[in-house]
Amino acid sequence: NAGVTQTPKFQVLKTGQSMTLQCAQDMNHEYMSWYRQDPGMGLRLIHYSVGAGITDQGEVPNGYNVSRSTTEDFPLRLLSAAPSQTSVYFCASSYSAGAKNSPLHFGNGTRLTVT
């Protein structure tokens, strides 16, 4: 099983450029989410989705857009990259956000540098 697949693994952008981080899962999970991980800050939630066609904002949504047209895919779009968005981005999914015994599965991350 592939699990949660993120592409690309590394990306360098210039300030003002836009790009899309891809995330796909093959576990038929309803719930998908995006986190960023920064030194000293831990993991923070950017956006999440409880099913196809439904998205919502997390703790740090500014500068990012998401969509969920299929159960499998949950891309994260950076509209106009800023140096403050330099981070490691993780996509994660679970069977259900509301199930008590539903562990979160993570992808291997995308390391983004904005110059």
| Residue ranges in contact with other proteins by CB under 8 A | 4, 31, 33, 35, 40, 42-43, 45, 48, 50, 56, 58-59, 90, 92, 97-98, 100-109
Ordered strands of the 4-7 beta sheet:
4-7, 19-25, 76-78, 64-66
Quote the least distance from Cβ 107 to other proteins, whole Å: 5
Number of Cβ within 10 Å of residue 47's Cβ equals 23
Quote the least distance from Cβ 100 to other proteins, whole Å: 5
Distance CA 110, CA 12 (A): 11
Closer to other proteins by CB, 17 or 22: give it. Answer: 22
Closer to other proteins by CB, 17 or 55: give it. Answer: 55
Closer to other proteins by CB, 86 or 102: give it. Answer: 102
